Amino acid sequence: MRRAGTVCALFALGVGGAAISANVMAADATTPLAKNSRVKAALQYLRDDDDRTLREQIEITQIPSPPFKEAVRAADFASRLRAAGLTDVSIDGTGNVIGKRPGRGRGPLLILSAHLDTVFPEGTQISVQQRDGRYQAPGIVDDSRGLVAVLSVLRAMELQRLQTVGDVWFVGTVGEEALGNLRGVKGLFQDHAGIDGFISVDGVDTPDDVASGRSEIINQATGSRRWEITFTGPGGHSFGNFGSPSAIHAMGRAIATISEIRTPAEPRTTFNVGEVSGGTGVTAIASEARMLVDMRSNSAQQLAALEKQILQAVEDAVRAENARWQSNEVRSEHKLLGDRPASTRATHPALVDAAVAAYREIGLAEPRLHFSSTDSNVPLGLGIPAATLSGGGVGDKAHSRDEWYQHVNAWQGPQVILLTTLRLAGIEGVSRPTLPDR
C-alpha cells in the first residue's frame, strides 16, 4: 500500500546543493536525485500542490471530450500549460497539444504525455459527484488524473527552475480511446522523428494494487485489431421470400464459430463480438447485418493467428449460409477500425530503471511490470523506450459511468513522474541524462 508521509524519508537523504561534482555528474539510475535541494523542494511542492490538482481534475473532467471531439478540452489544456510557464505551446494538425520545454540542447527529447479524450459518447452526464469519500464521474480517472499530474510536474519544474539537459515536451494526445486508434500518438511520432523516450500518464492504483502494496508500470504493449464486418444478402419477406439467405443468419453462424475459438492463457489472447446490428423488422429477411469484433493479445504472433481464425470463420459462415439455401447472394466485407501494435521487444532499460528508482526513492515498494494497451504501444512498437505510469491516487470502474476516484496519497504519482523525468532528461549541473539520445 502507498504510505502517507513517505516524502519525509527524502529529507533524511540529506540536503545537497547544485554545485557540480564528479560523483553527482556520474549519477545513474540508482543515485538519489533528492539530495539536490531544488529537487527536494520540487517534491515538497508536489505534495503542497495536491489540493489544487484535485480541483483541476474535477474541472477537466467536466469539460466534454468525447471521441473525435477533443478540441474544447485541448484548448483548455493548452491554456493551463501556458499558465504553468510554457511559452511554446501549440495544437498540431492531429489535435494534440504540445508544450515544449527546451533543455540545454545536449541531451535526448523526452515526451511526458496524457490523453485528452474519454471513451464516452457526446451527451454523457459528466458532472462530478462526491459520495462516501469518492469522486465519481465518467473520465474522472481516465485520463483527467493523468492530465493534472502532468501539469503539476511542470509547475514543480518551473517554480524550482529545474533546467534539464534534454528537452521535455508536455503533451495532451487525442484519440487514445476505442476507435480513436491511437491517432494522436501515431501522428506525434510521424511528425517528430527525433523523439528518444515517451512517458504516458494514464490510470491510477486500483484497490487490488493497494491490497498488494505494489503499483504497476506498463512497459509492454497489448496489441489489438478491431474489425467492422458487414454481411449483405438479397433480403425479402419472411414468408413470401422464404428460402432466400439471410445476412443475420450468416452473421449468427460466424458468431457461433467465433465463440468456440480457443486462445492461449499465456500469452494472454482474447476476443469479443461487442456490437451487432441489422435487419429492418421481424417479418423481413435481413439484407444487411453488422458486427464489431475486438481481438487482443500480448503477442503479435498470437494476435495475427487469432485474426486469421476469426476472418476464416466469417468466410465459412457466408459459404454455409449460401449452401443452406443453394444461393451465392450472401457476401461479407471487412473494414479495419483499429490497429494497436503488440510489443514484448526489449528496449533500452533506462526508462523503466528510472521509474523503479523513483518509486524506491520516495519509499514505495518496487512496482510490478505489466502489459496493457495505452499510448505507449506506438513507441514500444517502434523500439523507442516507453512506459505508462500512474497519475496518483486510487480508483476503479474506468470506462463505465460508475468510474470513481479517491484522493489518497495522490501526490506520490507526480513525485514518481518528476523523478523519472529528471533522471531521464538529466539536470543541468547535477546529473547526466540516462535516456540515450538516439
- The answer for residues whose C-beta is within 8 angstroms of residue 212's C-beta and 6 or more apart is none
Together in a domain, 215 and 78 = yes
Which of 289, 317, 340 is the last residue in one of the domains?
340
Where does a domain end: 315, 340, 365?
340
Note whether residue 93 is domain-resident: yes
Please give the pLDDT value at position 346.
Answer: 59
Strand partners, 232: 288, 331
Non-local CB neighbours of 57 within 8 Å, separated by 6+ positions:
135, 140, 144, 145, 147, 148, 405
- pLDDT for 30 equals 57
Amino acid identity at 124: T
- Residue 9 is predicted with a pLDDT of 32
Quote the number of domains for the chain. Answer: 2
CATH code of the domain containing 236: 3.30.70.360
| One-letter amino acid of 388 | T
Confidence at residue 430, expressed as pLDDT on a 0 to 100 scale: 93
Asked if residue 327 and residue 359 are part of one domain, the reply reads no
Residue 212 CB burial class (10 angstroms; 0-12, 13-18, ≥19): middle
User: What is the model's pLDDT at position 347?
Assistant: 63
- State the pTM of this model: 0.87
Give the burial class of 363: count Cβ atoms within 10 A of its Cβ; 0-12 exposed, 13-18 middle, 19 or more buried.
middle
Reference 398, options 68, 139, 58; nearest CA is 139
Does some domain include residue 126? Answer: yes
Omega of the bond leading into 143 within 30 degrees of 0 (cis)? yes
CB 155 within 8 A of CB 49: yes
CA pseudo-torsion sign 294, 65, 87, 199? negative
User: Would 436 be classed as within a structural domain?
Assistant: no
Tens digit of each residue's pLDDT, the chain (438 residues):
333 333 333 323 333 333 333 334 445 555 689 789 999 999 999 999 999 999 999 999 999 999 999 999 999 999 999 999 999 999 999 999 999 999 998 899 999 999 999 999 999 999 999 998 899 999 999 999 999 999 999 999 999 999 999 999 999 999 999 889 999 999 999 999 999 999 999 999 999 999 999 999 999 999 999 999 999 999 999 999 999 999 999 999 999 999 999 999 999 999 999 999 999 999 999 999 999 999 999 999 999 999 999 999 999 999 999 999 999 999 999 999 999 999 876 567 889 999 999 999 999 999 999 999 999 999 999 999 999 999 999 999 999 999 999 999 999 999 999 999 999 999 999 999 999 987
- pLDDT, position 345: 66
**193 and 111 together in one domain:** yes
Domain extent, residue 354, equals 7-222+342-425
C-alpha cell at 327: 444461393
Phi, psi of 23 (to 5 degrees): -65, -45
Whether residues 247 and 159 fall in one domain: no
Residues 168 and 212 in one domain: yes
| The residue type at 46 | L
In a domain, 435, yes or no: no
| pLDDT for the residue 247 | 98
Q: Both 348 and 379 in a single domain?
A: yes
Based on the domain organization, do 380 and 347 belong to the same domain?
yes
Q: Are residues 59 and 98 in the same domain?
A: yes
Picking from 51, 19, 17, the residue whose alpha carbon sits closest to that of residue 36 is 17
Same domain, 184 and 228: no
Are residues 45 and 76 both part of a single domain? yes
Same domain, 144 and 35: yes
The reply to whether 158 falls in a domain is yes
Residue 26: per-residue pLDDT? 45
Of 340, 371, 405, the domain-final residue: 340
pLDDT at res. 12: 31
What sign has the CA pseudo-torsion 306, 309, 312, 314? Answer: negative
